[in-house]
Amino acid sequence: MSPKRGVAPLRRAEIVRATIRCLARDGYSGLTMKRVAREAGVSQGILHYYFTDKRAILVAALETVTTDLDRRVAAAQSRGARDPRARLLALVGACLRLAVEERAFWIVFVEFWGEMMHDRRLREINAALYERMRWLIGAVVAQGVRAGTFRRVNVLRAAAVILGLVDGVSLQLTFDPTAFRVAEATRFCGEAVTRYLAREAP
């Protein structure tokens, strides 16, 4: 029997959050439907109603942490100034803070990346996600170019560079938090992005 309509979205979200906890604790190799069901406090029958297999639940976990990141970035950008430089630095800061505040976020990504190397469909999902991220960052860069704040660049290429910087530093914060503090990381990433996009001297 299917769950009641109002309960279904909440239960699905609880299952995905349980999956994220399991991935952070046991990795994808240790993830089983039985463990997820136990972590979520549901029967395996209920679990299979929402997700057919491990791959489906891994994709759902990725979608959830990505949505959480989108929400954090939007909130950070809404609190500060609206100019392109401030919006870009807010994005960088939100991503880096997430690596410290929600370590499981990057663990989900790493587990997903490991599996996608052997699964064409997962690679397609990851490619689409990164294309979307490059467009979002590129839109802010393009706004700065139009305003004269940034130099003229290929905005999608610039977005790829910025995304690579943020990904790399975020991973270091996740797996080696003694390397530097998040405030320090935010400062030097912000400085690097600002220098990279700075207009040439006349």
Query: pLDDT tens-digit profile of 41-87?
Result: 999 999 999 999 999 999 999 999 999 888 888 888 888 668 899 99
Report pLDDT for 3.
56
- Which of 18-27, 92-101, 170-179 has the highest mean predicted lDDT (pLDDT)? 18-27
Does any domain span residue 202? no
Six token digits for residue 12: 């699905």
Give the CATH number of the domain where residue 112 resides.
Answer: 1.10.357.10
- Helix 54-79 to helix 120-147 angle (10° resolution) is 10
Residue 2 predicted with pLDDT over 80 = no
Give the CATH number of the domain where residue 37 resides.
Answer: 1.10.10.60
Does any domain span residue 86? yes
Six token digits for residue 39: 């972590």
Band of the pLDDT at 175, cuts 50, 70, 90? confident
Residue 202 predicted with pLDDT over 50 = no
Average pLDDT over residues 182-196: 93
Tally of domains within the chain: 2
Q: How far is CA 138 from CA 5, 28, 126, in A?
A: 39, 32, 18
Q: What residues are paired with 150 via a beta bridge? A: 198
Distance CA 16, CA 103 (A): 16
Those residues whose C-beta lies under 8 Å from the C-beta of residue 154, and which sit 6 or more positions away, are none
Band of the pLDDT at 4, cuts 50, 70, 90? low
Band of the pLDDT at 32, cuts 50, 70, 90? very high
Does any domain span residue 8? yes
Which helix (DSSP H) or strand (DSSP E) does residue 146 occupy? Answer: helix 120-147
C-alpha count within 13 angstroms, C-beta hemisphere, residue 125: 19
Q: Are residues 45 and 143 in the same domain?
A: no
Q: For residue 18, give the DSSP letter.
A: H
114: left (phi over 0), alpha (psi -120 to 50) or beta: alpha
Does any domain span residue 114? yes
> In the predicted model, what is the mean pLDDT of the chain?
90
Q: pLDDT by residue (tens digit) across 116-160?
A: 999 999 999 999 999 999 999 999 999 999 999 999 999 999 999
What range does the domain containing 106 cover? 60-197
**pTM for this one?**
0.86
Domain C-terminal end among 52, 71, 95? 52
**Cα 15–19–25 angle (5° rounding)?**
145
Q: Are residues 111 and 66 in the same domain?
A: yes
CA-based nearest residue to 150, from 89, 201, 86, 199: 199
